[in-house]
Each structure stands twice: as C-alpha cells, then as structure tokens.
Structure 1
C-alpha cells in the first residue's frame, strides 16, 4: 500500500502552484490532485518496501539452497567419475 501522507503532501504542493485567481477552489483542486495521483499509482504494479524485502529474503534463501545443491551435485559427479574397479576377475595365485 502506498503511503498516503506522501500523496497528500504532493497534492498540497500541486495545489500551491495554482494561480492566485483559482485559489478559491484550492481544496477542491487538492482533492482532485490527490484522487488522480492515487488512481495513477494504483494502476502501477507497485509493492511496498516491506513486501520487497520479504521477497528479497526468500530469493536469497533460495539462491543459497541452489548453491548448496549445485555443490552436492558436483561432489556426486566427482564420485561417479572415479575409476571403477576392473571388470576382469582376480586370478588366484
């Protein structure tokens, strides 16, 4: 969810830029600015910082597990690459 205090502040700044002749409807303009900003931001596919941090932590754990599994596969492959015992039967002495 977007922090509405930032949207309110931006709407106030925008309404402050309105020419003096239109200042009578300043509150109405400020509400319109706020509505347009909220609508525009809602259309964007944004996540909160908290959601981003959670997904980043999940990705980090996944990467660590993947690296551990890759190392394990390399060890198994190295073990299978070792020379196999000879197929010729041992001859008695």
Structure 2
C-alpha cells in the first residue's frame, strides 16, 4: 500500500514539474526529476545492484557447499549400517 501512495506522490510531483509555467530548461528539469526519484527510492526498502549481486554470489556459494555436504552425508550414510534398536 505504501508503494502505491509513494508512486502516486512521485507521479503528481513529476507532473507538476513537467507542466510548470516557468518552463524549466532540460538540464534543470532533469536535475529536479533525479532528485525526486532518488528521494522516492530512498523511502523504499531496496538495495543497490552491487549489494544484490554480492548477496547473490554468497547465496550461490552457500548452495554449492550445502549440496557438497549433502552428498558427503549421503555417502557416509551408505557406508555405515543403520543402528540396531
């Protein structure tokens, strides 16, 4: 719900900037739009691309290690007879 409210707010502010009577020059308009978007993104719970890729690499290595450990456990279980009760 917060995302919709934020998007609506950004949209209305961007529309005001674009329809402004003072007619901002393109570089100034771009600067204002970037600031508006950066402010909106800062309010969202997002991570940078670098942080995402770092965590993705960590997850991939963890999965590989888990799979290797699962194979080792399976091999050990096949070598050892089950305990008798």
> Shorter chain as normaliser: what TM range?
0.5 to 0.7
Give the match for residue 72 of structure 2: 72
Structure 2 gaps, min length 5: 1-13
Give the alignment of 1:38-49 within 5 angstroms.
38-49=38-49
Superposition misfits of 4+ residues, deviation over 3 angstroms:
29-36
Question: SS of 1:23's equivalent?
Answer: coil
Flag the structure with larger Rg.
Answer: 1
Instruction: Return the alpha-carbon distance in structure 1 between the equivalents of residues 38 and 73 of structure 2.
Output: 50
Count of residues in Structure 1 that have an aligned counterpart in Structure 2 = 65
Could you state the TM-score of these two structures normalised by the residue count of structure 2? 0.58
Structure 1 gaps, min length 5: 1-12, 83-93
The alignment's C-alpha RMSD in Å is 2.8
Could you state the TM-score of these two structures normalised by the residue count of structure 1? 0.54
Q: CA deviation at 1:41?
A: 0.7
